[in-house]
């Protein structure tokens, strides 16, 4: 998958599947299953590192995880998030950070949160030959300013952000936590793919955090998540069985030992 092929999926009317990955093993599995793109999201701050938001993750950490993912991928488009505050420090420093990501991970594109406010930076990245995906609606890096993870309903602003990102040179846009009708209208208005997460079925594609999809997430699960498995339960049961076998001297057996 390349950026032009990714964009062409919208013109072909083919829905686009995107999932996250943060390490080599999961990247291999997700890629082999045939998803169109893999996002190394700054969500790793919460999913992998245990933070309460995406703000703490650093550029070096994004590169570290992005490199692992790229080593495990053979066919999907790999996109790596620009973490906070790399793209708020001026377009030149944003280009420098994005270039590091491309050079040190081997990914094909970066993603940043913003629309109208980041149009100049998006244009600078695109002008430097760096494919960039925008992200409008709920912006997790701005959660402190937004006052929490809430549905964004200002249609005028959302549409303006999407159009600004497209005009600045973004090849796609993530629409997060916005009403279905608004997402549908944005998807019809712009020529680049929209990838929804909590934005209804009318986007050109969908993205989910893979641990959510696999049922690995504990505690609160967002309304827009569909768990396709209960790996949390399976893993817990497997570990408990292992513990009991060790305690009962049932593991290892003679067939699992060297004579």
Q: Which residues are catalytic?
A: 176
- Residue 66 Cα distances to 24, 100, 104, 216, 227, angstroms: 9, 11, 9, 21, 25
Contact 57, 49 (CB under 8 A): yes
Contact 73, 27 (CB under 8 A): yes
Q: What is the spatial distance between Cα 147 and Cα 166, in angstroms, rounded to a whole number?
A: 27
Q: Which residue matches tokens 């004579």?
A: 259
User: What residues contact 50, with CB distance under 8 A and at least 6 apart?
Assistant: none
Q: Would you tell me how many other CB atoms lie within 10 Å of the CB of residue 137? A: 28
């Amino acid at each position: 998958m390349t950026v032009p092929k990714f964009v062409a999926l919208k013109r072909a009317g083919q829905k686009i599947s995107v999932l996250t990955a943060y390490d080599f093993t999961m990247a291999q599995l997700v890629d082999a299953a045939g998803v169109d793109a893999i996002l190394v999201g700054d969500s790793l701050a919460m999913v992998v590192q245990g933070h309460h938001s995406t703000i703490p993750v650093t550029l070096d950490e994004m590169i570290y995880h992005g490199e692992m993912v790229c080593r495990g991928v053979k066919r999907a488009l790999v996109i790596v998030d620009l973490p906070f505050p790399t793209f708020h420090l001026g377009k030149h420093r944003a280009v420098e950070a994005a270039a590091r990501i491309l050079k040190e991970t081997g990914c094909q594109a970066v993603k940043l949160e913003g629309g109208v406010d980041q149009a100049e930076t998006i244009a600078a990245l695109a002008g430097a030959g760096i494919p960039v995906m925008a992200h409008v609606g709920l912006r997790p890096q701005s959660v402190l300013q937004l006052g929490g993870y809430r549905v964004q309903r200002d249609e005028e602003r959302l549409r303006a952000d999407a159009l600004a990102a497209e005009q600045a040179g973004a090849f796609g846009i993530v629409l997060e936590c916005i009403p279905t009708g608004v997402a549908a209208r944005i998807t019809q208005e712009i020529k680049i793919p929209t990838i929804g997460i909590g934005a209804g079925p009318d986007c050109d594609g969908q993205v989910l955090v893979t641990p959510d999809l696999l049922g690995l997430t504990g505690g609160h699960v967002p309304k827009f998540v569909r768990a396709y498995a209960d790996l949390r339960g399976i893993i817990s049961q497997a570990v408990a069985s292992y513990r009991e076998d060790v305690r009962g001297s049932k593991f290892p057996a003679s067939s699992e030992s060297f004579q």
